[in-house]
Amino acid sequence: MSREPRTAIATVCLSGALEDKLPAAAAAGFDGVEIFEPDLVASPMPPGEVRLRCADLGLSIDLYQPFRDLDSTDPERFAANLRRAEHKFGVMEALGTDTVLVCSSVAPDAVADVDLLAEQLHALAERAAARGLRIAYEALAWGRHVNTYDRSWEAVRRADHPALGLCLDSFHILSRGSDPAAIADIPGDKLFFLQLADAPHLSMDVLQWSRHHRLFPGQGAFDLPGFLAPVLAAGYTGPLSLEVFNDVFRQADPARAAVDAHRSLLALAEATAARGEGADPVAEAAPELHGHAFVELSADESLAPVLAALGFARTGLHRTKPVERWEQGAARILVNRSGGPVAVAALAVESADPPAAARRATRLSAPVLPRERGPAEADLAAVTAPDGTALFFCRTGARAVEGADWTGDFVPTGETAADDGAGIGVTGIDHVGLAQPFDHFDEATLFYRTVLGLEPDATGEFAAPFGLVRSRAVVDAQRRVRLALTVSLLRRGEWAPGVSEPQYVALAVDDVLAAARAARAAGAPLLAIPDNYYADLDARLALSKDRLAAYRDLGVLHEETAGGAYLQVCTEVLGGRVFLALVQRVGDHDGYGWTDAPVRMAAHRRRRLARERVRA
Amino acid sequence: MSREPRTAIATVCLSGALEDKLPAAAAAGFDGVEIFEPDLVASPMPPGEVRLRCADLGLSIDLYQPFRDLDSTDPERFAANLRRAEHKFGVMEALGTDTVLVCSSVAPDAVADVDLLAEQLHALAERAAARGLRIAYEALAWGRHVNTYDRSWEAVRRADHPALGLCLDSFHILSRGSDPAAIADIPGDKLFFLQLADAPHLSMDVLQWSRHHRLFPGQGAFDLPGFLAPVLAAGYTGPLSLEVFNDVFRQADPARAAVDAHRSLLALAEATAARGEGADPVAEAAPELHGHAFVELSADESLAPVLAALGFARTGLHRTKPVERWEQGAARILVNRSGGPVAVAALAVESADPPAAARRATRLSAPVLPRERGPAEADLAAVTAPDGTALFFCRTGARAVEGADWTGDFVPTGETAADDGAGIGVTGIDHVGLAQPFDHFDEATLFYRTVLGLEPDATGEFAAPFGLVRSRAVVDAQRRVRLALTVSLLRRGEWAPGVSEPQYVALAVDDVLAAARAARAAGAPLLAIPDNYYADLDARLALSKDRLAAYRDLGVLHEETAGGAYLQVCTEVLGGRVFLALVQRVGDHDGYGWTDAPVRMAAHRRRRLARERVRA
């Protein structure tokens, strides 16, 4: 019988966390694995434990990857990159793997001159060799200067260092149509690693774009008011008609999709009228928003102690319903103890003109929410958002606007929070995160954009432990109301059914370390973040030892951008699908911490599995 | 209060059948609809009834669309296109709509000369005007010669006919980055129609292709043996390692995905060895296949009468199990009356060497099927396919090969089918259609390819009533074993849960009309196909009146290609998820009738709803 080839698989090929992937690879008969850095960073296993786990499973660790953007025309940047590499060499020693994948750079400062590139690769190889390690250099198909295997070979050949060789990836080579025949002429001992992938021939030409990815006006990136204006100026008198080929709409409830579609045309007509073409708008303009009025959470008994530990005070009890008002700074959370798992039941925004906001929402076909109400209660205008969340228009404290103040519905308990020092520094609600049903993500974006007059903000996509998640934020012009919407791009699989991305309320603080310390001292269930995350943070950002120790101690996630940083500490998921986060924005950071979302999601999942194990 | 713009929506924007779409559009507040031709063709409502239905709902029919590839440099082709147009004008009159969308041609014979194009558009407009209709000409962004609005306007301007104007589509214009400002200079009475769509900025660059759509070797289009051979020739001694970024694998069971992945490397090593590089293959070669041995259906009592009506005879009863053998020609169907909804429980193929085939399957990690067996029963080697179907390796009648003959398990009933004229002309099994679970479509392709030694055949994608369906066929070199695999591209939505694409057994016949007549006379529940389908077939193919009448009468679906035709008559879905089809291949037709699949699926769904209504 013949010999089986030695086989390996990159952990990125498989779903789940490292704890799922390693036994799956071993059971399938693989001899080794490539450890993909984000899998390690999100794992609670220190590298040495990963090494032992693999050894137990009979798996070698054949590669650690990737190390990106090594070379640089900026000597200072190159020095920082070497420092980062030394950190990763330490990780490799602990893993017990001797080869690291270095991809060709995609950065603007990537080195074009092949001799300088060879020199920098030589310097890296020299450091690797000193620790018994070696560098496999790979041409990414979209590398800035090095994007074919012959260019990567040219650099490696010139660098001429025994600890430096090539990694060949079939995708990068065949996707560009390169002829692989000349590979046979490269010395075999310079081929350090081989990565294999197949792919269908794909091109997102305009035909595919058109047939699968069209959206209703206001859901995409086109300037449609700028398109409609000249058409109306020409004298077109026919209907505004939608022709939208979209894979998601093709399988969603047509009654819902039609409402969404019709709303998009009313909003388009409004936006075009604002440019002076077409009839007057059909709805009143969206009144200005002044912030989040409250978030209502349906809850069981587990929530109240957590709110208390986070410095909230129970300031009021509803006159007729099992609803409590909790407050700290400008953050107000209503706890609806009607039971059921913890979930966001309602959002309320502060509106300059709640009745006008409600009329606009109705005009835009937002489903009006029937509401039972006792004789002394506020007649809050409310509609239902696409994910079923109730949306209230309030003007807290303005008793002159009929029905817009809601505080009178609550009997004060006499408790106060921040005023008497019991708070932990929460100043208000930064934003609310809402995972959307797969069929209604684009609908939700348009709903908030049109009904509340919000504008699309950041968008993103990240690889969560159970698959890709797409994010889109909507904000008002003053950034006082922010919503972060997410959706699983392929719906949940049979392997990982149910909720993958929980809802959350991000609470604004000025000092996340102080707030988290106080919360933990009071018993708040803060989410532990793996050490590997901080080792990587250290390699990337060179934070002070003290700061890093505090982060590690409290579970701070730190997203750094050119403009500033987004620091957050999350609680565990609280008895349902909601967690709370303490969020500090530093400098001009205007994002939502999505870079850290996969790490946070893996940590939440780990906690859930641990709880389930305890129960079982 | 201001005036609401007149709004319309193309039926293609919404999921479901026309019966779902029209009320959804009306309820959402639309004033009109564009009737998308495939929706009408799949509908049982004659055009006049669609007109009444729309009128009842308060909807105008603003556009019928699309008419494709009108102009031609070939005068004969152009004459045929005018004939086709006259047919569609008749449909429009019945619908009560006066405007048809004509897209710029994408065909190789499209007219480049703008004066000839104008002349042909003028000729069409003249015919339309004679019937009180008008033509809205639209530049597709990917039109062969006319792909910008200024080119379409140039042709319309030169044609200079009052029944000819423009249709402007925001997608086609903005996706190409055209400046819409000059639209304001076109006379308003020449703007016949306006279609609106938004879209995200998208490009399937190599980065996106790489991060989302990689596949395991053998699942895509790359020549990986041709890539691996020079790498091995160079002297590479490291592992074959997989690096596959794939959105589906990212959310699928990692244990399953790892087995699939490992199988792909064994098969790659085998294929590379066949080119003279690398070690010998690790598994025995796939033995030759001689055809389908049988298909086993789990069934309730509803199936037997249908098989009888289709001319099958119950030729044997299993010695120990509630299994019946039904036969006609070389087609054998086992009916397993253990109960449960009707479904494909097992496939059996005729193998030149069943034990070797089983050893190969085991070596490629196919799960071996444990099988209970009485003392006198055949020890058929069997494995489980990715969708759970059992797969048997047989050599029917070859008692010399131990365990490979299965016919001895059955006690003959004495009944025969085709021999005594009771059959309807079924000669064998043409192919089996198997809808795959979303997470395992690529795995299934690779499974059949490697385990059975089949090769990928046709691939396709079609818009079914509940969303896109992807198809891929696998066949042996002699085309004696064919499997058609399908998958819903976005998994089922909440609006349309459960099975959308049933399994089927395609039965080969030489004369589908005679076979269908005989089956119907015997009471087989043949699927009715809407008249609209035949009206369209007539417009396209100019079939004889008799032939068309027979098609209409029996529900024949006719897919025409350059090489021949695929004619099929389907039964209703039989008490579960299976239907049977009578299939006649004419000429060199080598496909699977996928062009007609949306019509067939809409008809099946209509029958199901009708049955549910009867029950309720």
Question: Is B243 assigned a ligand-binding role in the annotation?
Answer: yes
Interface of B with A in 229-248 (CB under 8 A): 229-231, 233-248
**Superfamily of chain region A289-615:** 2,3-Dihydroxybiphenyl 1,2-Dioxygenase, domain 1 (3.10.180.10)
Task: Answer yes or no: do A4 and B266 touch at CB < 8 A.
Answer: yes
Q: What is the mean pLDDT of each run of 10 residues along chain B (616 residues)?
A: 75 87 90 92 93 96 93 95 94 96 95 97 97 96 92 97 94 87 91 86 74 85 86 85 84 87 88 84 87 94 93 94 94 90 93 92 88 61 91 81 77 76 90 93 94 91 85 94 92 68 94 97 95 91 93 96 94 91 95 93 88 82
pLDDT for position A370 = 74
Count of residues for chain A?
Answer: 616
Of the two residues A400 and A611, the one the predictor is more confident about is A611
**Residue A238 bridge partners (DSSP):** none
Instruction: Please answer yes or no on whether A14 and B257 come within 8 Å at the CB atom.
Output: yes
What integer pLDDT is reported at residue B1 of this predicted model? 37
* CA angle (B270, B273, B275) in 5-degree steps: 120
Provide the shortest C-alpha distance from residue B11 to chain A (in Å): 8
CB within 8 Å: A240 and B193: no
pLDDT the model gives residue A1: 37
Residue A234 to residue B185, Cβ atoms within 8 A:
yes
Taking the C-alpha atoms of residue B441 and residue B386, their distance in angstroms, rounded to an integer, is: 8
Which residue in chain A is spatially nearest to B500 when comparing CA positions? Answer: A251
Say yes or no for a CB contact (<8 Å) between B32 and A193. Answer: no
Beta bridge partners of A559: A566
Terminal Cα-to-Cα distance of chain B (whole angstroms): 46
Touching A: B residues 348-387, CB under 8 Å: 365
Could you list the residues of A known to form a binding site, using ranges: 138, 169, 195, 243
Which of B21, B243, B260, B442 should one mutate to test binding to chain A, selecting the residue with the greatest count of A CBs within 10 A?
B243
In order of A86, B74, B569, B593, the CA distances from B458 in angstroms are 51, 30, 21, 11
pLDDT at A522: 95
Contact A222 B174 (CB under 8 A): yes
pLDDT band at A111 (very low <50, low <70, confident <90, very high): very high
Query: Cβ separation of B198 and A183 shorter than 8 Å?
Result: no
Listed in sequence order, the residues at least 6 apart from B79 whose beta carbon sits closer than 8 Å to its beta carbon are: none
Which amino acid type is present at position B576? G
A496 in contact with B at a CB cutoff of 8 Å? Answer: yes
Give A264→chain B minimum CA distance, Å: 10
> Which helix or strand (DSSP H or E) is residue B152 part of?
helix B149-159
The mean-pLDDT minimum among A138-142, A170-174, B49-53 falls in A170-174
Contact A199, B215 (CB under 8 A): yes
Asked if A488 reaches chain B (Cβ–Cβ under 8 Å), the answer is yes
3-state secondary structure of A98: coil
Angle between helices A531-541 and A75-95 (to 10 degrees): 160
- B286 Cα to chain A: minimum distance (Å): 16
Judge whether residue A191 has pLDDT over 70: yes
Q: What is the pLDDT of residues A499-558, one digit of tens each?
A: 567 899 999 999 999 999 999 999 999 999 999 999 899 988 889 999 999 999 999 999
A 413-442 residues with CB < 8 A to B: 437-439
B138 among annotated binding-site residues: yes
Q: Which residues of A are annotated as a binding site for a divalent metal cation?
A: 138, 169, 195, 243
The Cα of A547 is separated from the nearest Cα of chain B by a number of Å equal to 34
| Least confident interval from A233-237, A268-272, A404-408 | A404-408
Instruction: Compare CB distances from B3 to A204, A279, A493 and report the shortest one's residue.
Output: A279
Pick the residue of B241, B442, B450, B461 with the most A CBs within 10 A to test the interface with A by mutation.
B241
The radius of gyration of chain B's CA atoms, rounded to the nearest angstrom, is 28
Q: Which residue of B has its CA nearest to A488?
A: B251
Out of A62, A210, A490, closest to residue B171 by CB:
A210
Residue A93 backbone phi and psi in degrees, to 5:
-60, -45
Within B119-252, strands assigned E span 134-138, 164-169, 191-196, 240-242
Q: To which H or E segment does residue A10 belong? A: strand A7-10
Suggest the residue from B68, B144, B198 to mutate for an interface test with chain A (most A CBs closer than 10 A): B198
User: Residue A113 — φ and ψ, nearest 5°?
Assistant: -70, 120
In the structure, what pLDDT confidence band is assigned to residue A2 with cuts at 50, 70 and 90?
Answer: very low
Q: For the packed helices B18-27 and A254-273, what is the interaxial angle rounded to 10 degrees?
A: 40
Tell me whether the CATH fold assigned to B8-195 matches the one assigned to B289-615. no
Judging contacts by C-beta atoms under 8 Å, the chain B residues touching residue A219 are 198
Which pLDDT tens digit goes with each residue over A3-22?
678 889 898 888 888 998 99
pLDDT digits (tens, 9 = 90+) for B283-293: 789 999 999 99
B136 contact residues in A (CB cutoff 8 A)? none
Which residue in A30, A31, A28, A1 sits closest to B282, CA to CA?
A1
- Shortest Cα distance from B576 to chain A (angstroms)? 21
CA distance B230 to chain A (A): 4
Determine the residue of chain B that is closest to A466 in CA distance. B251
For chain A, the average pLDDT equals: 89
Average pLDDT for A441-469: 90
**Which residues in chain A are contacts of B185 at CB distance < 8 A?**
234
Greater model confidence, B70 or A460:
B70
Specify the 3-state DSSP secondary structure of A29: coil
> What pLDDT score was predicted for residue A129?
97
Angle (CA) B582 B588 B594, round 5°:
50
Interchain CB distance below 8 Å, A252 and B15: yes
Say how many CA atoms lie within 13 Å of B278 toward its Cβ: 30
Partners of residue A276 in chain B, C-beta under 8 Å: none
Residue A180 with chain B: CB contacts under 8 Å: 226-227, 230-231
Contact B14 A490 (CB under 8 A): no
pLDDT of residue A147: 92
CA count, 13 A, side-chain hemisphere, A250: 24
Q: For A240, name the nearest residue in chain B, comparing CA atoms only.
A: B7
pLDDT at position B279 is 75
Q: Which residue has the higher pLDDT, A333 or B577?
A: A333
Q: Which residue has the higher pLDDT, A567 or A1?
A: A567
Return all residues near A567 (Cβ < 8 A) that are at least 6 apart. Answer: A512, A556, A557, A558, A559, A583, A584, A586
pLDDT above 90 as % of chain A: 58
Name the A residues in 116-175 with CB < 8 Å from any B CB.
141-142, 168-175
Phi, then psi, of A155 in degrees rounded to 5: -65, -45
- Cβ of B243 within 8 Å of Cβ of A29? The answer is no
Picking from B188, B221, B244, the nearest residue to A235 by CB comes out as B188
Cα–Cα distances in angstroms (integers) from residue B612 to residues A7, A254, B606, B607, in the given order: 52, 20, 10, 9
Question: Cβ A252–B495 below 8 Å, yes or no?
Answer: yes
Q: What angle do CA A19, A20, A21 make, to 5 degrees?
A: 100
Percent of chain A topping pLDDT 70: 95
Measured CA angle at B259 (ends B257, B264), to 5 deg: 95
Segments making up each domain of chain B, as ranges: 8-195, 206-273, 289-615
Cβ–Cβ of B5/A281 closer than 8 Å?
no
- The CATH class that applies to domain A8-195 reads alpha beta
- CB of B279 within 8 Å of any CB in chain A? yes
Higher pLDDT, A49 or A464: A49
Residue keyed to tokens 């129609």:
B193
Distance CA B11, CA B59 (A): 12
Sequence-distant (6+) residues with CB within 8 A of A7 are A29, A30, A31, A32, B239, B240, B241, B242, B262, B265
- Chain A interface includes B510 (CB < 8 A): no
Interchain CB contacts (distance < 8 Å): A and B: 506
> What is the structure's pLDDT at B2?
47
Question: Which residues lie below 8 Å from residue B444, measured CB to CB, with a gap of 6+?
Answer: B385, B386, B387, B434, B436, B485
Largest CA distance in chain B: 89
CA-based nearest residue in chain B for residue A186: B234
Name the minimum distance, in Å, from the CA of B202 to any CA of chain A.
Answer: 7
Residues of A in contact with B5 (CB under 8 A): 239-240, 265-266, 269, 278-279, 282
Which two tokens mark A497? 């059914």
In this complex, which of A62, A174, A466 lies closest to B251 when CB atoms are compared?
A466
Measure Cα distances from A376 to A315, A319, A411 in Å. 19, 8, 12
Supply the pLDDT for residue B599: 92
Q: What is the pLDDT of residue B417?
A: 66
B400 touches chain A (CB under 8 A): no
CA distances from A70 to A109, A292, B75 (A): 10, 44, 63
